[in-house]
Amino acid sequence: MKDAHFWLKRNGSPKAIINEIPEDWLTEIKKAIPGSSGNTKFHISGKQARIAKIQSASHTIFALAFDEDRIKSKRMLATEAATLMAIAEEFEQKAMLAAKKEEAHTKRLIHNLKSLTAKTMQEIFYVARQDNMLSYGKRAKDYVKDEIVRNPDDAASAFISILKHQAAQNAEFSAFNKLSGDVGQIKKESHSIHKVLMNVFYLFFGDFTDKGVTVDVQATQAKAVFDYESIHVCIYHIAENSAKYIRQGGAFSVSTSTSPDSIEIIFEMESLAINQDESEKIFYEGYSGFRSVRDGLQGSGIGLYIARQLASINGGRLSVIAGIPKLRDPDYARNRFILSIPRA
């Protein structure tokens, strides 16, 4: 049986809460049922249909159905419309919360993209000063080339940083699209675990090196079934989080473990300790750990949340085994983040 179509609006509000009926059809239906309620057979766009209307003190509902069962049964469409009316208040509140959340996500995306664009420009101007580029006019290209030749190490570092900022921009867009609920965005195929790991970690080797961290991404021939782009972004956020909170001069290892049904990618490091009651909270949207807040290291509290969501839409899971801090150094512990995804 095909679904019925509904239009729900709070009386006096300019915007519909549910809007599944085209405007020209809605105009015809309103003319056909001018009173506060009604339920009748009706021809619309050359097809026979059943239409219904319910109006309460707070909301108005119009319903439309083209299937034979609902056309024959007056009660069926009336019951569905009445059920929707009964939950209209609650439905409206949830719709408003969802809209506010979507607006917040959009604002965050715009803010983060602006921030990343600014960082990219800073990297360029670190190699070639902006005022000098302007003063050289048509010869700006020659000036930039000379600066690259004169400071090859700085230029190389800047280029890698620019690549990382570009990857971060792609991660922002990808997460926004993948988590929008559009199933068509997810394309699961068999991929090499090692390839996706290295395509992420080469962007962060410089960050780990600056902290004196030894990185060991163990080679593996393992393959798994996943949407490449979303798992790439998932691992990007794990790597970014690790580079931020890992202990200076520590070690970071990435290994894999296989079972008949899944592959676990294990990210192990000595990083800021996670309180036992935070093992789930750190995956909540907007949450930052106690020590990161105390030390002023917290970000937006969104990276691990997005990483877990992206793992989930691939049929996987991201979890953490929080280590126990030592008495002599209570701020750090050996933590293990485990990304489990279906096996090829």
Region for residue 134 given its phi and psi (left: phi exceeds 0; alpha: psi -120 to 50; beta: otherwise): alpha
Burial class (CB in 10 A: 0-12, 13-18, 19+), 330: exposed
Give the integer Cα–Cα distance in Å for 338 and 333.
16
The full DSSP string for 130-152 is HHHHHHHGGGHHHHHHHHHHH-H
Residues 84-96: tens digit of each pLDDT: 898 888 888 877 7
d(CA 262, CA 266): 13
pLDDT digits (tens, 9 = 90+) for 197-233: 998 898 888 889 999 999 999 999 999 999 998 899 8
* 173 burial via Cβ count (<10 Å: 0-12, 13-18, 19+): middle
Residue listed under structure tokens 């056909």 = 32
Amino acid at residue number 43: H
CB atoms within 10 A of CB 112: 17
Average pLDDT, rounded, for the chain: 86
pLDDT tens by residue, 250-292? 999 999 999 888 999 999 999 999 998 999 999 998 888 888 8
Q: What is the pLDDT of residues 60-74, one digit of tens each?
A: 999 999 998 899 988
Chain centroid to CA 222 = 26
Question: 186-342 belongs to which homologous superfamily?
Answer: Histidine kinase-like ATPase, C-terminal domain (3.30.565.10)
Question: For residue 246, what is the DSSP state?
Answer: B
Ramachandran quadrant class, 79 (left: phi over 0; alpha: psi -120 to 50; beta: rest): alpha
SS (HEC) of 189-245: EEEEHHHHHHHHHCCCHHHHHHCCCEEEECCCCCEEEEEHHHHHHHHHHHHHHHHHH
> Which tokens hold the place of 48?
């026979």
pLDDT in tens, 155-214: 888 888 787 777 777 767 666 767 766 555 788 899 999 999 998 898 888 889 999 999
What is the torsional sign of CA 324, 327, 331, 332?
negative
Residue 341 to residues 238, 241, 258, 298, 333: CA-CA distances in angstroms? 15, 20, 10, 28, 26
Q: Who's near 299: CB < 8 A, 6+ residues apart? A: 244, 288
Q: Binning pLDDT at 50, 70 and 90, where does residue 320 land?
A: very high
- What is the DSSP code (8-state) at residue 21? S
Looking at residue 311, its pLDDT comes to 93
Yes or no: say if 20 and 7 are a contact pair by the CB < 8 Å rule.
yes
In angstroms, the CA 243 to CA 4 distance is: 51
Q: How far apart are the first and last CA of the chain?
A: 37
Other C-beta atoms closer than 10 Å to the C-beta of 23 total: 8
